[in-house]
Copies of this chain bind each other. A is one copy, B any other.
């Protein structure tokens, strides 16, 4: 007995999906149909489909069927926000996405004042329970939900600035902070992977079995931590890229070799 039955069925279906035989968005045969085709019981069929759903390959919708997930992936160059240089007139996200010919939207702006949770307090170097300003938004690419962002500011940084208003700041929040004496000179990102909460899954439009990529970005001036941004991305449609040191020389050298 090589592989268990349900894994053989899963492998057969996986093959059809990755080979393009069943293209993204298409519907798989129904469960009774798969029973007959592979000569197994329905529970075994469901074990196979569960495995594929857990890999993010397919998604089942009650009463409708099981479909091949259509994954578009978008890469964010997360190391590009050097110091304050990205805040030149337009939001970095919109600029980056637009470059790729996609339509970027930022919706559902919200501003709240909360007390700092332990996680937030530690990163912002403020006391737990002290007041912080939270700015929330959701981001869409080509009309599809893509990420949830929350930015936390120490109250004394946000006070008296446009950060207190629940609207987009067209020239960028980094510039707004710099105008008030808080110039960003660097940041630290912490990236982790986890399963989404029910709410997150609902907004990001992912079924169960698709993880999220969570990024904590703590921004610093030469004096202190001035902002914490938490981004939650749909895991299977996002890549974060970081370029450290000199990568341009090696990439350009290769290109010129090709060209010659």
Contacts and interface: CB of A to CB of B under 8 A. Distances in A.
Contacts of A220: 246-247, 249-251
Contact of A191 (B213, B222, B247): B213
Interface residues of A, number: 62
A245 B187 contact: yes
Given A191-B240, A193-B236, A244-B82, A198 B7 contact: yes
A223 interface: yes
A241 interface: yes
A56 B222 CA distance: 38
Nearest to A83: B245
Given A55-B195, A211-B194, A185 B236 contact: no
Interface of A: 7, 43, 50-51, 54-56, 73, 75, 78-79, 81-83, 125, 184-195, 197-198, 208-213, 218, 220-226, 235-236, 238-251, 253-254, 257
